Amino acid sequence: MNLKTYLPIGFLALAIAAIILPKDIFTAVLIFLMILSGVITIYSNIDVFDDDERDQ
Amino acid sequence: MNILALTTSYTFEFTFISMIAASFYFLLERHKLSSKYKSISSLAFLTTALAVIEYYQMHDFFDLKNLSSPTVNYPTEFRYITWLIATPLMLYIFFVLSGFYKSHKKTVMTTLSLNFAMIVTGYFAETTYSNKLMSFNFSIAMFAIGFVCWLGIVYIYTKYLPEQLELTPSKNQKDLGKCLNILGKLVVFGWALYPAGLFITFFDPSVDTALTRELIYNFGDLFNKIGFSLICFLCAVKLTKNEAI
C-alpha cells in the first residue's frame, strides 16, 4: 500500500476535520491539504491509461 | 471582514470557472474518440455543463453580503437539483463505457433508483431539519435511508461491477478495471463528503460550520464531477486507441 492509496482517505478525513474542528488558521491548513490531496489523487490517476511503449 | 465568507465565495468562483473549463475540454477533445465512444464525451459535457447552469443560479447565494450576514441563506435546493441531474449522468457514464447498459439493465435501474432515493431522502433530511418542518427523528430517519442507498451504490461500484467485469473478458477489460477502480474511490471517498457534511450540521448548526461545509462542498463538486467525467473520458480515449489495434 503506497501513499497514492491513502490520498483519497486523507482527502475525506481532512475535509471532515475542517468542518468539525474550531475555525481558525488551522482550518485553512486543513483545507489546503485537502485540496492538495484531491489534486494529487486526480493527477496521479489520469495517467493510468497511458501506454507510452505502444504510443512510441 | 469575515475571512471564511470571503474564502467560501472565492472557492465558489473557482469551482464555477473550473466547471466551464471542463465543459469546453470535453467538447474540444471530442475528436479523440471513435463514434462508438462519442456519447462519453456528450455525457461528460452534460455533467459539467448542467453544473455550470446551476452554479450560475447559485451565484447570489455566494455573494459576500449574504455569506457575511448573520442569517445566511444556503443554496440547498439548487445543490440538490444539481445533484439530482448530474449524479445519474455520472453513474451512467461507466455503464455506457463498458457496454453494461445493454447487458445489465437491471443493475442500471437499481443504481439510478438508489441514487434517486439517496438524493431525495438527503434533501428531506436537510430541509426538514434546517427549516424545523418535522421532528429531529424524521430527519435522522431520512438521512439513514439516504446513507443506506449510498452504501448500495458503493457496493455496486466497488464489488458488483468489478466482478461482472471479470466475468466478461475482452481486450478492454484491463482498462475498464482501472477506470472502475478510480471511480469506486471517488464514490466512496469523494461522495462521503456530503453525508458527513450533513450529519455534522445536525449536531453543530453554527454559521461557521455551515460556511466551511459549503466551502468543502464546492471542492467536493469540483473533484467529483470533473474527476468522474475526466477519468471516464480518458478511459474512452484509451478504448478508442485499443480499437485501432
| Interface-testing mutation among A42, A47, A54, A56, with chain B (most B C-beta atoms within 10 A) | A42
From A38, A49, A54, residue closest to B234, measured CB to CB? A49
Cell 448573520 identifies what position? B70
Is A53 within a domain?
Answer: no
A46–B230 C-beta distance less than 8 A: yes
Q: What is the pLDDT of residue B2?
A: 79
Q: What distances in angstroms separate CA A8 from CA A11, B25, B204, one per listed residue?
A: 5, 24, 25
| Interface-testing mutation among A45, A51, A54, with chain B (most B C-beta atoms within 10 A) | A45
pLDDT digits over B124-175, tens only? 998 898 888 888 899 999 999 999 999 999 999 999 999 998 888 888 888 8
What's the CA gap between A49 and A32, in Å, rounded?
28
B231–A45 C-beta distance less than 8 A: yes
Give the contacts of A41 (CB within 8 A, at least 6 positions apart).
A4, A7, A8, A11, B185, B223, B227
Distance from CA of B200 to the nearest CA of A (A): 7
* A44 within 8 A of A7, measured Cβ to Cβ: yes
Say which DSSP state B168 is in: S
* A8 within 8 A of B185, measured Cβ to Cβ: yes
Q: What is the pLDDT of residue A56?
A: 58
Cell 485501432 identifies what position? B244
Q: What is the pLDDT of residue B141?
A: 94
Q: Which residues of B touch A27 (CB under 8 A)?
A: 4, 212
Average pLDDT rounded to a whole number, residues B198-209 = 83
The number of folded domains in chain B is 1
Q: Chain A within 8 Å of B32 (Cβ-Cβ)?
A: no
Three cell numbers, residue B23: 465543459
Using alpha carbons only, what angle is made at residue B229 by residues B31 and A27, rounded to the nearest 5 degrees?
140
Q: What is the pLDDT of residue A53?
A: 58
Burial class (CB in 10 A: 0-12, 13-18, 19+), B200: middle
pLDDT band at B58 (very low <50, low <70, confident <90, very high): confident
B189–A11 C-beta distance less than 8 A: yes
Is A36 within a domain?
Answer: yes
Residue A21: give the domain boundaries: 3-46
What's the CA gap between B93 and B108, in Å, rounded?
11
Q: Where are the alpha helices (H) located in A1-56, listed in sequence order?
A: 3-20, 25-45, 52-55
Is A39 within a domain?
Answer: yes
CA-nearest of B231, B163, B223 to B192 is B223
In single-letter form, the type of residue at position B25 comes to Y
Q: What is the pLDDT of residue A6?
A: 83
Three cell numbers, residue B182: 478510480
Q: What distances in angstroms separate CA B72 from CA B15, B56, B63, B183, one per listed residue?
A: 20, 18, 10, 34
pLDDT band at B64 (very low <50, low <70, confident <90, very high): confident
Three cell numbers, residue B143: 438521512
pLDDT digits over B71-107, tens only? 777 788 888 988 998 999 999 999 998 888 888 889 9
Q: Chain A within 8 Å of B241 (Cβ-Cβ)?
A: yes
Give the contacts of A47 (CB within 8 A, at least 6 positions apart).
none
The number of folded domains in chain A is 1
Q: Chain A within 8 Å of B207 (Cβ-Cβ)?
A: no
Q: What is the pTM of this model?
A: 0.88
* B8 within 8 A of B62, measured Cβ to Cβ: yes
CATH code where residue B204 lies:
1.20.1070.10
Residue B43: give the domain boundaries: 3-244
What's the CA gap between B226 and B245, in Å, rounded?
29
What's the CA gap between B19 and A13, in Å, rounded?
24
* B21 within 8 A of B222, measured Cβ to Cβ: no
CB pairs A-B closer than 8 Å: 77
Asked whether this complex has an ipTM greater than 0.90, the answer is: no
Three cell numbers, residue B226: 470533473
Is A28 within a domain?
Answer: yes
A28–B7 C-beta distance less than 8 A: yes
Distance from CA of B235 to the nearest CA of A (A): 6
Question: What's CA B162's distance to the chain center, in Å?
Answer: 20
* B145 within 8 A of B117, measured Cβ to Cβ: yes
Q: What is the pLDDT of residue A52?
A: 61
* Chain A nearest-CA residue for B233: A46
A45–B212 C-beta distance less than 8 A: no
